[in-house]
Each structure stands twice: as C-alpha cells, then as structure tokens.
Amino acid sequence: MTGWHWLALFALIVIAWTALFAMAVPSALREAGQVYGAAFWEDLCTITPDASGFARVVLMWALMSAGMMAPTALPAFATYDELGHTGQTRFGALVGGYLVVWLGFSVGAGALQMGLMWMGLVSPLGNSVSAWLSGALLLAAGAYQFSPLKEACLAKCRMPMTFFMNHWDEGPLRNGVRLGLVCLGCCWALMLLAFVGGVMNLAFMGLAMVIMVVEKLPQIGRFVTRPLGFALLAGGAWTLTNAI
C-alpha cells in the first residue's frame, strides 16, 4: 500500500472520521434529551423537514458510509491495485465507483430517517424512540445474517481476487460499482442499526465498523456471521418483549 493514491484514500477516511467526531453528540446531551424529551432537541438542534434538513441528513450518512465502509474494503482495494499495478486514475475510479454506491445508500437512508422522524419514531438526532422500531430493526438484521444473499455477497468480499478476475475487463469504475453493490449487500442491515445504536454515535460506529471488517476476513469471518445473527435476534426479541 504505497503511493499517493493510497495516501489520498487514507486521508479521505481520516477526514470523514474527523468530521464525524466534530458532529457527534456527546453522551451527556443524549442522556439529557432522554430526560427532557422532544422539546429539548427541538430547542437545540432540530433538523428541519425541508430540502436543507434533508441535505444535512444525507451528508451525515455519507460521512458515516465513507468512514465506516471504506476501511472494510481496503483488502479488496489492495487486491485490485496489486493485480493491475494501477495508477492513481484507475485506482481513483475504482474507489469512486465504490463510494457512489454508498452515496446512493446515504440518500435512501436520509430519506428513511426523515420519514421516521415525521412519524415520530426517531428523534431529531436519528435515534429510535420506539421499542417496536428498534426490535424490528434488530430482528431484520439478525434474520438477514442467515440469508443466502448475505452469504453470497460475503463470499465475494472474502475472495476479492476471484471477484476482480471475473470482471476485470469491465474497467475500474464498473468494478468499483460492483464491489460497492456487493458490500452494500453485506452491510446495509447492519448500517441501519444506527437508528438503534444512535446515528452519529461514535461508539456504535466504531463497533459496527470493526464487526463489518472482521466479518469480511476470509479466515475468521465465517465464525462471526451466524453468532452475530443469533445475538441480534435475541436482542430484538428482548426489546420487543419489554415493549409489550
């Protein structure tokens, strides 16, 4: 991993995490919001239900996606770089295609957050205020861990050399988009657990990123997927039981 293109990628990841750190809400304020209720956040940092508010939410999700997902794809980026001894332009096209997919996810997640906020299911910070929503998200993420689609996507992520050799002639941009779609297939459900763990919660983001990185490792990833699924299902069942 040498060259200016790698330095640029690492700089992007650092910038994303730095911005997330600057935007993150301290736990003390989150606890205060739970004590004082919705009025606390309305006075402090209401996200307006308009184009400007939507743009801020999408930016927040885009930073989360770049900061959390780019590190999970580093082995795949390195494999592509080694296979073709790519220059900065081709490597940039690969990473750009990958990030375009996650930008699309960010738009969808932002729209979902605005809709859930309008229905009163999440706070202005994006945290779930409904045990039913939290339980449903945990159960959905847990069940997805056992799905054939998740397994198929993980298999490609764990064998990046085979993946790229099968699509090498399509060029770096399309390979980046393909890799992004495969990565999205692996991780979309876990990313949406941000509504449960706390959107812009650094502890959740760090833990989720580590889990997703480990899950994609070829040697130990397969020992993580199903136990994580059982844990999420148990967490969802416990959350819904307490809501009854």
What band does 40 get if pLDDT is binned at 50, 70 and 90?
Answer: very low
Verdict on whether the full-model pTM lies above 0.75 = yes
Distance from C-alpha of 228 to C-alpha of 216, rounded to nearest angstrom: 13
Q: Tell me which residue of 112, 131, 129, 111 sits closest to 121, measured CA to CA.
A: 129
Q: Tell me which residue of 122, 164, 156, 145 sits closest to 228, measured CA to CA.
A: 145
What band does 4 get if pLDDT is binned at 50, 70 and 90?
Answer: confident
> What mean pLDDT, rounded, does the chain reach?
86
What band does 44 get if pLDDT is binned at 50, 70 and 90?
Answer: very low
Under DSSP, the state recorded for 146 is T
Q: Tell me which residue of 126, 153, 125 sits closest to 225, measured CA to CA.
A: 153
Asked if pLDDT for residue 2 goes beyond 70, the answer is no
**73 phi/psi in degrees, rounded to 5:** -100, 5
Over the range 212-241, which residues count as b (16 or more CB within 10 Å of their CB) and which as e? bbebbeeeebeebbeebbeebbebbeebbe
How is the chain split among helix, strand and coil, in percent rounded to 5?
A: 80, 0, 15
Phi-psi domain of 201 (left: phi exceeds 0; alpha: psi -120 through 50; beta: other): beta
Over the range 103-121, which residues count as b (16 or more CB within 10 Å of their CB) and which as e? bebbeebbebbbebbeeeb
Q: Which domain holds residue 215?
A: 4-243
Q: How far is CA 109 from the centre of its chain?
A: 10
pLDDT of residue 53: 74
Q: Residue range 44-68: average pLDDT?
A: 77
pLDDT of residue 41: 40
How many structural domains comprise the chain?
A: 1
Q: Which of 5-14, 50-59, 129-138 is least confident?
A: 50-59
List pLDDT tens digits, range 115-173: 998 899 998 778 899 999 999 999 999 999 999 999 999 999 999 999 999 988 899 99
Q: Which residue has the higher pLDDT, 236 or 127?
A: 236
Q: Which residue has the higher pLDDT, 191 or 86?
A: 191
Helix (H) or strand (E) holding 220: none
